[in-house]
Chains A and B, each alone.
Chain A
């Protein structure tokens, strides 16, 4: 029982008419894990999350959530899930606290329990001073935190977060991350989707890279970077870039492990970035700017799909 996966999927497919949004994926998420789906828009992340959340019926394949069948036991499963959807759907007709108390009642909590839970959670997401206020004037980050609090009212075994920080400014994102990190420390199982590599690196123990409805890679952020990229990446920009980058790439041939000419810059994959830069200069090339950085999941994604994550 202890090591029974909370989510178990084999050959999971979701089709909308002729269109295949999720093209046969396999997953296992263990209790206590922070698991991520990393992929660009349209990869099928939300479609997968909705199937896991038992609000969308799989077209094909096997899916067990908390050991139960989502089609037959949807109500019982949802009672133990917390869901933070991609787009906030807070209730503008209710104030901040009522958004939580009302939601708690859907899970069968009593009036008194709902009230107590709401106040604890408002404290947790740092919105206690807004309890009596309306939802509309809250900033994007505050709304997101309130939605996360709402997902926690039933003390769920599994929390699903669909793009928890998309559209937030950096400061608001860090606040959300910090709260999610605390949940993770408490041992809450988190499943989140994101198209931000830094988010995946910050929060996920393990993740899958999704593209066009398929899983193209799986592992911890570190192991994915080790497998699909080098320790460091050198970004070179040339003054006459754009059209000339292919030519430059040819001249750089042999430096590092791999060279990726993008429209605006050239990426040089090397375990030692400074070495690679010295070699560039030795060949008499004078890039307008040079940046040596650590490899990220973005590089993994580029390597796997030939495209960037966020355009």
Chain B
């Protein structure tokens, strides 16, 4: 009984999830405005990498973390990669998702078909990560070209950036379903920026007082940065499994909560 209930709840059709993705591919083709968003989302982390990683790095010199010495730019670059994966997915599952949910009534139209709320959430998430992965792939190309990562490191880090995209995309989607209006996005932007500055992006978290360090270790971008940096630099340890698990929980939890909210909002 329980298993059939769970099966009914979870059973999903790949063709319907594909149809949700297909809609976004169609929309991308038709609007030039979309490309602007796409490009801006890519350049931001790249500019940070060049200005802070390379510029400030010239002043800071090399860095020693856990007994491994690396250039400051090589330390910052994986973090910027993780940020890029995060913001790429978030751009899609926050602004665009919210717009489709609240204003364009896209999902209302979709829910009149056999497609279920969970299939919408999954399709939108996959689309967001596909889109975000274009950024991260290009970004990894830059890193290899600038000598900030080995090819092996880049290949190992790429799947990790996909997981980062899934995790932030899913949670971002859930948060979007709770937004009352555009002003709430400012709040989210502030939170995102705070994480961006303090998640071990620009300096090792061990540099902070212990209390702050623990606090940072509870936030998601920290785990994203640790995982991506570990794989990029090849400094791997069991801690990476914890980071990955954290991101998996975000993905599953975010998707589940987002699809429940969509159902509650549109199918009352």
Give the interface of A toward B (CB within 8 A).
16, 53, 55-57, 72, 75-76, 78-79, 81, 83, 85, 87, 89-95, 98, 102-103, 105-108, 154
Contacts and interface: CB of A to CB of B under 8 A. Distances in A.
A108 B114 contact: yes
Give 3 closest A-B pairs by Cβ, nearest first: A93-B27, A105-B19, A106-B113
Contact of B30 (A53, A93, A103): A93
B59 interface: no
B23 A94 contact: yes
B261 interface: no
B30 A89 contact: no
Given A56-B268, A95-B30, A98-B30, A107 B23 contact: no
Interface in B2-19: 8, 13, 15-16, 18-19
A273 B167 CA distance: 74
A79 B114 contact: yes
Nearest to B103: A92
A78 B23 contact: no
Among B30, B104, B106, B113, the one with the most A-chain Cβ atoms within 10 Å of its Cβ is: B113
A56 B113 CA distance: 13
Contact of B27 (A56, A83, A91, A154): A91
A286 B191 CA distance: 77
B267 A89 contact: no
A81 B22 CA distance: 22
Interface residues of B, number: 28
A108 B16 contact: yes
Contact of B266 (A55, A90, A154): A55
Interface of B: 8, 13, 15-16, 18-20, 22-23, 26-27, 30-31, 104-106, 108-116, 266-268
Contacts of A85: 108-109, 112
A16 B112 contact: no
Contact of B109 (A72, A78, A103): A103
Contact of A56 (B13, B104, B267): B267
Among B20, B30, B108, the one with the most A-chain Cβ atoms within 10 Å of its Cβ is: B30
Given A89-B108, A92-B104, A102 B22 contact: yes
B238 to A, nearest CB: 43
B241 to A, nearest CB: 37
Nearest to A106: B113
Contacts of B112: 53, 55, 78, 81, 83, 85
A92 B113 CA distance: 19
A43 B115 CA distance: 29
B108 A93 contact: no
B23 A16 contact: no
B268 A16 contact: yes
Contacts of A87: 105
Contact of B111 (A55, A76, A107): A55
B26 A93 contact: yes
A107 B114 contact: yes
Nearest to A150: B109
A91 B110 CA distance: 10
